[in-house]
Amino acid sequence: MTQGIFISYRRDTGSTMARMIYDRLRLEKNYKCFLDVEKLNVGNFHENIVSELDKCRIFVLILSKNALDRCVNPDDVVRKEILVAIEKGLEVIPVTSEDFKWPETMPEGLEGLNDFNAIPYIQVYSDRFFERLYSFIENVFAKDRAKESAIRSAEFAAKRAEFTNNAKDKLKTIGKNSASTISDFSKATSKAAKNFVVESVQEKKVNPLPIAVGVAVIAVLALIIVLLGSRWKIIIPIAIVALGLVIYLWRKKNPPKTEVSGEDPAGVNEAPDGTDQN
């Protein structure tokens, strides 16, 4: 935030007051002030004015005796400084000396200058004058700080709302995908288990009871997972491993029986000399 103070004055009648205000603002309040003494006379005058005013937020205009009389001239220095300051939106604070009088007819382009709140300088009440001047300046800076704080808060709130909405959308997408994946996996698992049970029973390899119980358990767990959310999906592989272990132990305890036909497949009835003992 720019907090410089540009002090404009008429050299032949206002230099003493300008220097006094410049010194007090810098020494007592440590404000960054600009007071043109010689620098703006070097190089392009208009560019120099614009460059210095770009660094400032407040324009203190010293209105000493006859300070505005020469402002009817388009090339007048004080006139140029005033017009640039108003154009750039600086806060204008006119300071009137005891011998200053507003002209009956304001110079062209400066008609609204006397609408600004001017602070009269009276030497015997100089302390009171500076209290008012400091108060004016601080009010301007305080409003700027409040405005910038409000802008930053609004920007932060907008970014936070955008982040929250994006996060919600991503979570919804993840939730939908997870639920769909779990549902598809559950259906595929149930179908595969069912086919396995049917084939096993038809081939008379295993007892269907433990497998049926396992399939029922997986189906119940799958239903619970769909209802409770994707964070319980780890139960599925655990249940599958448990089912596989149950089937393995059952088959180990009850191995499949091999049917024996009327023929002697291993040749156990053959005699040592190759003749049939029967």
Catalytic residues: 81
Beta-strand pair 91-96/33-35: unpaired
Please give the span between the terminal C-alpha atoms of the chain, in angstroms, as a whole number: 116
Query: Which one, of 51, 53, 59, 43, lies nearest residue 133 by Cα?
Result: 59
Residues sharing a CB contact under 8 Å with residue 203, sequence separation 6 or more, in sequence order:
none
Residues sharing a CB contact under 8 Å with residue 78, sequence separation 6 or more, in sequence order:
8, 9, 10, 67, 68, 70, 71
186-195 own/partner pairs: CB under 8 Å, 24+ apart: 186/218, 186/219, 186/222, 186/223, 186/225, 186/226, 186/236, 189/218, 189/222, 189/236, 189/240, 190/215, 190/218, 190/219, 190/222, 193/218, 193/243
Residues sharing a CB contact under 8 Å with residue 42, sequence separation 6 or more, in sequence order:
48
DSSP state of 5: E
- Residue 258's alpha-carbon distances to 203, 205, 261, 269, in angstroms, are 11, 10, 10, 19
